[in-house]
């Protein structure tokens, strides 16, 4: 019985190959897949134990890279191992060899893709001043460019191995690329604008910026758009090219605030009081710990007020701190002006009337009468 079964497998064939050869190829392919999967799992378990220890960055990288092994490609490689023991015609041997290269190139590409992403992530994490490096334009562009370059090399290598003339292929891609570039010039403009943001760094993730009438904190800088979280809570999405073409105020890089404000006093203020006003204001600002007095001058005679200009520096970039300081200064100025007896001016206008019909004019007085009207500002 055994001899008959053996003769059957040795005698009968399928597609010109004996059944015994087919059975041997299938068994070898199955054994290869199981063995390869077992070996990879064994190394992954060992590497995970090592990566759990402190100061083991290489093991962490190896775990991430080896975890990118594709079961589909592993199965295809196992099938090719089995196909290799078949008595194939000569014309099929070259094709099997090409398939081996394709499978190996794809798997190496997957490993290299993970290794590249991990290496760039660690580089930007190490060289970033904040924890928001993932959202920076330079990190996004670098990762995207590295992946595109990697897979272009992998695909061209596979095409060259299977007999495709990559010279003509690359030339055709160049002509097609020009047509695509013309059709996508707006998108490409945003992409190059993101490259400009990455290199010039007018702002980074986490910066508070003002662009025209819009303001907020930068959350993400992508290839086409930048996302900003406004003070109202909503997310603002702006094209990179539009941002580069606008004036950007970056308050995150503000070291000090130069504050200029004006005070108007009534014309009843004497010269002695005006001198005391400047001294009092200088003293009030100098008492602030996070402010530096610059100057206070009686600037000019206004239409309805004696105008004083005050300049001081806030030593903290926070807007809330600036407002706290300004409030303390304003309240202290009000108290000081009450003490020295001066009053804040309000808009007023003097109207001269040449004559008033029916009015009696005293002897020796002119008929001209001055009438002052006041306009209170709201």
Do 199 and 334 lie in one domain? The reply is: no
DSSP 47-116: HHHHHTSSS-HHHHHHHHHHTT--HHHHHHHHHHHHHHTS---HHHHHHHHHHHHHHHHHHHHHHHHHHH
Q: Which domain holds residue 225?
A: 186-253
- One domain for residues 366 and 261: yes
Q: Is the domain of 115 the same as that of 17?
A: yes
Task: Count CB-CB contacts under 10 A for residue 174.
Answer: 9
Task: Report, in angstroms and rounded to the nearest whole number, the Rg of the chain calculated over CA atoms.
Answer: 40
* Domain match, 27 and 151 both: yes
pLDDT along the chain (378 residues), means of 10: 53 61 78 87 82 69 80 84 68 70 85 82 66 54 78 81 69 63 65 77 86 88 86 88 86 87 93 94 94 94 92 90 94 94 83 65 49 44
Check if the beta carbon of residue 261 is closer than 8 Å to that of residue 310: yes
CA 23 from centre of chain: 58
pLDDT at 376: 43
- 273/230 same-domain check: no
Question: Number of structural domains, the chain?
Answer: 3
Co-location of 222 and 266 in the same domain: no
One domain for residues 68 and 121: yes
Residues 22 and 149 in one domain: yes
Question: pTM of the full predicted structure?
Answer: 0.48
- 155 and 68 in a common domain: yes
Q: Say whether both 26 and 154 belong to one domain.
A: yes
- 284-318 burial, b for 16+ CB within 10 Å, e for fewer? bbeebeebebeebebeeeeebbbbbebebebbbee
Q: Is residue 165 part of a domain?
A: no
Instruction: Enumerate residues 6+ apart whose C-beta is below 8 A from 35.
Output: none
308 assigned to some structural domain: yes
Query: According to the model, what pLDDT value does residue 295 have?
Result: 94
Same domain assignment for residues 314 and 298? yes
In a domain, 208, yes or no: yes
Residue 211 within a domain: yes
- Does 176 map to a domain? no
């Amino acid at each position: 019985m055994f001899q008959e079964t053996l003769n059957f497998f040795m005698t009968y064939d399928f597609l010109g190959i004996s059944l015994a050869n087919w059975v041997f190829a299938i068994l070898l392919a199955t054994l290869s897949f199981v063995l390869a999967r077992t070996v990879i799992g064994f190394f992954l378990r060992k590497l995970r134990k090592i990566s759990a220890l402190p100061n083991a960055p290489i093991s962490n990288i190896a775990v991430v890279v080896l975890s990118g092994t594709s079961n589909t490609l592993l199965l295809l490689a196992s099938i090719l191992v089995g196909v290799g023991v078949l008595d194939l015609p000569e014309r099929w041997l070259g094709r099997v060899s090409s398939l081996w290269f394709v499978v190996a190139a794809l798997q190496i590409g997957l490993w290299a893709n993970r290794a590249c992403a991990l290496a760039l992530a660690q580089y930007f994490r190490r060289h970033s001043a904040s924890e928001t490096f993932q959202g920076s334009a330079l990190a996004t562009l670098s990762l995207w460019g590295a992946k595109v370059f990697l897979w272009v090399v992998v695909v061209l290598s596979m095409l060259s191995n299977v007999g495709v003339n990559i010279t003509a292929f690359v030339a055709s891609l160049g002509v097609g690329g020009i047509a695509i570039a013309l059709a996508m010039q707006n998108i490409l403009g945003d992409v190059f604008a993101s490259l400009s943001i990455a290199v010039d760094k007018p702002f980074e993730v986490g910066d508070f910026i003002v662009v025209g009438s819009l303001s907020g904190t930068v959350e993400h800088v992508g290839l086409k758009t930048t996302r900003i979280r406004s003070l109202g809570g909503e997310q603002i999405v702006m094209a990179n090219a539009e941002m580069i073409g606008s004036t950007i105020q970056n308050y995150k890089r503000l070291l000090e605030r130069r504050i200029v404000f004006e005070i108007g006093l009534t014309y009843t203020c004497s010269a002695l009081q005006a001198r005391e006003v400047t001294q009092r204001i200088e003293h009030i600002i100098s008492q602030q710990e996070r402010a530096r007095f610059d100057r206070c001058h009686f600037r000019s005679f206004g239409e309805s007020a004696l105008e004083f200009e005050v300049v001081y520096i806030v030593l903290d970039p926070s807007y809330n701190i600036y407002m706290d300081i300004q409030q303390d200064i304003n309240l202290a100025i009000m108290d000081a002006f009450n003490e020295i007896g001066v009053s804040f001016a309000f808009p007023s206008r003097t109207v001269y009337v040449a004559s008033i019909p029916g009015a009696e004019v005293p002897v020796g007085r002119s008929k001209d009468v001055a009438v002052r009207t006041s306009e209170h500002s709201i």
